[in-house]
Amino acid sequence: QKEVEQNSGPLSVPEGAIASLNCTYSDRGSQSFFWYRQYSGKSPELIMFIYSNGDKEDGRFTAQLNKASQYVSLLIRDSQPSDSATYLCAVQGTDKLIFGTGTRLQVFP
Amino acid sequence: KAGVTQTPRYLIKTRGQQVTLSCSPISGHRSVSWYQQTPGQGLQFLFEYFSETQRNKGNFPGRFSGRQFSNSRSEMNVSTLELGDSALYLCASSSSGEIQETQYFGPGTRLLVL
Protein backbone atom coordinates (compact mmCIF):
# COMPACT_ATOMS: atom_id res chain seq x y z
CA GLN A 1 0.00 0.00 0.00
CA LYS A 2 1.32 3.42 -0.95
CA GLU A 3 1.78 5.87 1.88
CA VAL A 4 -0.33 8.54 0.18
CA GLU A 5 -2.85 7.57 -2.48
CA GLN A 6 -4.72 9.69 -4.96
CA ASN A 7 -6.77 8.86 -8.00
CA SER A 8 -4.67 9.94 -10.98
CA GLY A 9 -7.69 11.11 -12.94
CA PRO A 10 -8.28 13.00 -15.08
CA LEU A 11 -11.21 14.40 -13.18
CA SER A 12 -13.29 16.40 -15.64
CA VAL A 13 -15.79 18.96 -14.37
CA PRO A 14 -17.71 21.72 -16.14
CA GLU A 15 -16.97 25.34 -15.40
CA GLY A 16 -18.86 26.51 -12.31
CA ALA A 17 -19.16 23.05 -10.79
CA ILE A 18 -17.60 21.73 -7.59
CA ALA A 19 -14.47 19.64 -8.04
CA SER A 20 -13.79 17.10 -5.30
CA LEU A 21 -10.27 15.72 -4.95
CA ASN A 22 -9.53 12.93 -2.53
CA CYS A 23 -6.49 11.54 -0.78
CA THR A 24 -5.94 8.69 1.67
CA TYR A 25 -2.85 8.08 3.76
CA SER A 26 -1.49 5.13 5.69
CA ASP A 27 0.33 6.63 8.70
CA ARG A 28 -2.14 7.19 11.53
CA GLY A 29 0.40 9.39 13.28
CA SER A 30 0.44 12.01 10.52
CA GLN A 31 -0.43 15.45 11.81
CA SER A 32 -0.05 17.88 8.92
CA PHE A 33 -1.64 17.75 5.50
CA PHE A 34 -1.05 19.93 2.49
CA TRP A 35 -2.57 20.47 -0.92
CA TYR A 36 -0.34 21.70 -3.72
CA ARG A 37 -1.33 22.68 -7.25
CA GLN A 38 1.05 22.02 -10.12
CA TYR A 39 0.49 23.41 -13.57
CA SER A 40 2.07 21.54 -16.44
CA GLY A 41 5.78 22.31 -16.62
CA LYS A 42 5.73 24.29 -13.39
CA SER A 43 6.65 23.57 -9.80
CA PRO A 44 4.12 22.80 -7.06
CA GLU A 45 2.56 25.76 -5.27
CA LEU A 46 0.84 25.53 -1.92
CA ILE A 47 -2.94 25.95 -1.90
CA MET A 48 -3.85 24.99 1.63
CA PHE A 49 -2.75 23.13 4.71
CA ILE A 50 -4.86 21.56 7.42
CA TYR A 51 -3.93 20.13 10.79
CA SER A 52 -7.24 19.57 12.59
CA ASN A 53 -10.20 17.35 11.85
CA GLY A 54 -13.01 19.10 10.04
CA ASP A 55 -13.20 21.69 7.32
CA LYS A 56 -10.95 24.63 6.53
CA GLU A 57 -12.10 27.18 3.98
CA ASP A 58 -10.02 29.64 1.97
CA GLY A 59 -11.88 31.42 -0.79
CA ARG A 60 -13.14 28.86 -3.29
CA PHE A 61 -11.11 26.10 -1.66
CA THR A 62 -12.15 23.89 1.24
CA ALA A 63 -9.90 21.25 2.76
CA GLN A 64 -11.52 18.47 4.75
CA LEU A 65 -9.67 16.19 7.13
CA ASN A 66 -10.88 13.01 8.79
CA LYS A 67 -8.04 11.45 10.77
CA ALA A 68 -10.13 8.48 11.91
CA SER A 69 -10.70 7.50 8.29
CA GLN A 70 -7.21 8.68 7.23
CA TYR A 71 -8.77 10.76 4.53
CA VAL A 72 -8.19 14.31 3.35
CA SER A 73 -10.01 16.05 0.53
CA LEU A 74 -9.99 19.31 -1.37
CA LEU A 75 -13.16 20.91 -2.71
CA ILE A 76 -12.97 23.61 -5.34
CA ARG A 77 -16.17 25.58 -5.70
CA ASP A 78 -17.12 27.46 -8.88
CA SER A 79 -14.36 25.66 -10.80
CA GLN A 80 -12.66 27.70 -13.50
CA PRO A 81 -10.66 26.58 -16.55
CA SER A 82 -7.64 28.16 -14.82
CA ASP A 83 -8.01 25.54 -12.08
CA SER A 84 -7.02 22.86 -14.58
CA ALA A 85 -3.84 21.41 -13.11
CA THR A 86 -2.52 18.46 -11.14
CA TYR A 87 -3.33 18.56 -7.45
CA LEU A 88 -0.85 16.95 -5.09
CA CYS A 89 -1.75 15.78 -1.64
CA ALA A 90 1.17 15.80 0.81
CA VAL A 91 1.29 14.28 4.26
CA GLN A 92 3.90 15.07 6.86
CA GLY A 93 5.59 11.86 7.96
CA THR A 94 7.96 11.56 10.90
CA ASP A 95 10.84 13.21 9.07
CA LYS A 96 9.73 14.13 5.58
CA LEU A 97 6.86 15.28 3.43
CA ILE A 98 5.27 12.40 1.53
CA PHE A 99 3.47 13.21 -1.70
CA GLY A 100 0.78 11.41 -3.58
CA THR A 101 1.18 11.09 -7.33
CA GLY A 102 -1.48 13.71 -7.89
CA THR A 103 -4.91 14.02 -9.49
CA ARG A 104 -5.20 15.78 -12.81
CA LEU A 105 -8.19 18.12 -12.90
CA GLN A 106 -9.69 19.34 -16.15
CA VAL A 107 -12.28 22.12 -16.03
CA PHE A 108 -14.05 22.55 -19.35
CA PRO A 109 -16.00 25.67 -20.42
CA LYS B 1 10.82 38.30 -0.51
CA ALA B 2 12.34 36.58 -3.50
CA GLY B 3 11.28 32.99 -3.95
CA VAL B 4 13.34 29.84 -4.14
CA THR B 5 15.69 29.86 -7.10
CA GLN B 6 17.30 26.93 -8.84
CA THR B 7 20.03 26.78 -11.43
CA PRO B 8 20.36 25.66 -14.09
CA ARG B 9 16.77 25.33 -15.26
CA TYR B 10 17.56 22.78 -17.96
CA LEU B 11 20.40 20.36 -18.37
CA ILE B 12 21.31 17.65 -20.86
CA LYS B 13 23.94 15.10 -19.88
CA THR B 14 25.06 11.70 -21.08
CA ARG B 15 25.21 8.45 -19.16
CA GLY B 16 28.17 8.19 -16.84
CA GLN B 17 28.61 11.91 -16.40
CA GLN B 18 27.98 13.76 -13.17
CA VAL B 19 25.89 16.83 -12.53
CA THR B 20 25.58 19.49 -9.83
CA LEU B 21 22.36 21.39 -9.24
CA SER B 22 22.04 24.50 -7.12
CA CYS B 23 19.25 25.85 -4.93
CA SER B 24 18.98 29.18 -3.14
CA PRO B 25 16.23 29.21 -0.51
CA ILE B 26 13.98 32.05 0.46
CA SER B 27 15.89 34.57 2.54
CA GLY B 28 15.83 33.52 6.18
CA HIS B 29 14.92 29.93 5.44
CA ARG B 30 17.41 27.45 6.81
CA SER B 31 15.92 24.15 5.68
CA VAL B 32 16.29 22.92 2.13
CA SER B 33 14.74 19.71 0.84
CA TRP B 34 15.35 18.07 -2.50
CA TYR B 35 12.85 16.03 -4.50
CA GLN B 36 12.91 14.06 -7.72
CA GLN B 37 9.75 14.16 -9.82
CA THR B 38 9.06 11.68 -12.60
CA PRO B 39 5.77 10.88 -14.36
CA GLY B 40 5.65 7.38 -12.96
CA GLN B 41 6.82 7.90 -9.39
CA GLY B 42 5.62 11.39 -8.61
CA LEU B 43 7.55 13.47 -6.10
CA GLN B 44 10.16 11.43 -4.27
CA PHE B 45 12.07 12.83 -1.30
CA LEU B 46 15.84 12.84 -1.71
CA PHE B 47 17.21 14.58 1.38
CA GLU B 48 16.88 17.57 3.64
CA TYR B 49 19.57 19.91 4.90
CA PHE B 50 19.43 22.23 7.86
CA SER B 51 22.30 24.36 9.13
CA GLU B 52 24.76 22.64 6.79
CA THR B 53 23.82 19.18 8.07
CA GLN B 54 21.87 16.47 6.32
CA ARG B 55 18.98 15.86 8.64
CA ASN B 56 16.89 13.37 6.67
CA LYS B 57 17.45 11.13 3.69
CA GLY B 58 15.17 9.29 1.31
CA ASN B 59 15.68 5.94 -0.38
CA PHE B 60 18.05 6.90 -3.16
CA PRO B 61 21.43 5.35 -3.98
CA GLY B 62 24.67 6.90 -2.83
CA ARG B 63 25.17 8.42 -6.28
CA PHE B 64 22.86 11.16 -5.07
CA SER B 65 24.48 13.49 -2.58
CA GLY B 66 24.13 17.02 -1.41
CA ARG B 67 25.49 19.71 0.79
CA GLN B 68 24.47 23.01 2.28
CA PHE B 69 26.54 26.10 2.75
CA SER B 70 26.60 28.58 5.60
CA ASN B 71 24.30 30.93 3.66
CA SER B 72 21.75 28.08 3.41
CA ARG B 73 22.28 27.63 -0.33
CA SER B 74 22.32 23.97 -1.24
CA GLU B 75 23.77 21.85 -3.99
CA MET B 76 22.81 18.41 -5.13
CA ASN B 77 25.20 16.15 -7.01
CA VAL B 78 24.43 13.05 -9.02
CA SER B 79 27.40 10.97 -10.11
CA THR B 80 27.55 8.29 -12.80
CA LEU B 81 24.30 9.38 -14.38
CA GLU B 82 21.84 6.76 -15.59
CA LEU B 83 19.01 7.13 -18.08
CA GLY B 84 16.53 6.74 -15.23
CA ASP B 85 17.87 9.85 -13.56
CA SER B 86 16.07 11.96 -16.15
CA ALA B 87 13.58 13.92 -14.09
CA LEU B 88 12.55 17.27 -12.71
CA TYR B 89 14.59 18.02 -9.60
CA LEU B 90 12.88 20.34 -7.19
CA CYS B 91 14.13 21.96 -4.08
CA ALA B 92 11.91 23.40 -1.39
CA SER B 93 12.74 25.64 1.52
CA SER B 94 11.16 26.29 4.86
CA SER B 95 12.12 28.34 7.85
CA SER B 96 13.25 25.56 10.14
CA GLY B 97 11.93 22.36 8.61
CA GLU B 98 9.66 21.66 11.55
CA ILE B 99 6.89 19.14 10.90
CA GLN B 100 4.07 21.65 10.56
CA GLU B 101 5.95 24.11 8.40
CA THR B 102 5.03 24.86 4.82
CA GLN B 103 7.60 24.14 2.15
CA TYR B 104 7.98 26.50 -0.80
CA PHE B 105 9.22 25.05 -4.06
CA GLY B 106 11.64 26.43 -6.57
CA PRO B 107 11.00 26.24 -10.35
CA GLY B 108 13.04 23.05 -10.66
CA THR B 109 15.87 21.82 -12.83
CA ARG B 110 14.85 19.56 -15.67
CA LEU B 111 17.58 16.99 -16.28
CA LEU B 112 17.70 14.86 -19.39
CA VAL B 113 20.19 12.00 -19.49
CA LEU B 114 20.97 10.62 -22.95
* pLDDT-derived band at B101, boundaries 50, 70, 90: confident
3-state secondary structure A58-83: ECCEEEEEECCCCEEEEEECCCCHHH
Checking if the pLDDT of A94 tops 80, the result is no
At B42 the pLDDT is 85
Chain B contact present for A34, CB below 8 A: yes
Chain B contact present for A28, CB below 8 A: no
Across B80-94, average pLDDT: 96
Do residue A97 and residue B58 have CB atoms under 8 angstroms apart?
no
Cα–Cα dist B108/B37, whole Å = 10
Q: Which of A20-29, B17-26, B83-92, B93-102 has the lowest mean pLDDT?
A: B93-102
Residues of A with Cβ-Cβ distance to B42 under 8 angstroms: 88, 99-102
Digit-coded pLDDT (tens) for B37-77: 998 788 999 999 999 999 989 999 999 999 999 999 999 99
Chain A contact present for B59, CB below 8 A: no
Chain A contact present for B48, CB below 8 A: yes
- Nearest-Cα distance to chain A for B33, in Å, is 9
At B1 the pLDDT is 67
Digit-coded pLDDT (tens) for A60-83: 999 999 999 999 999 999 999 999
Chain A residue at shortest CA distance from B48? A96
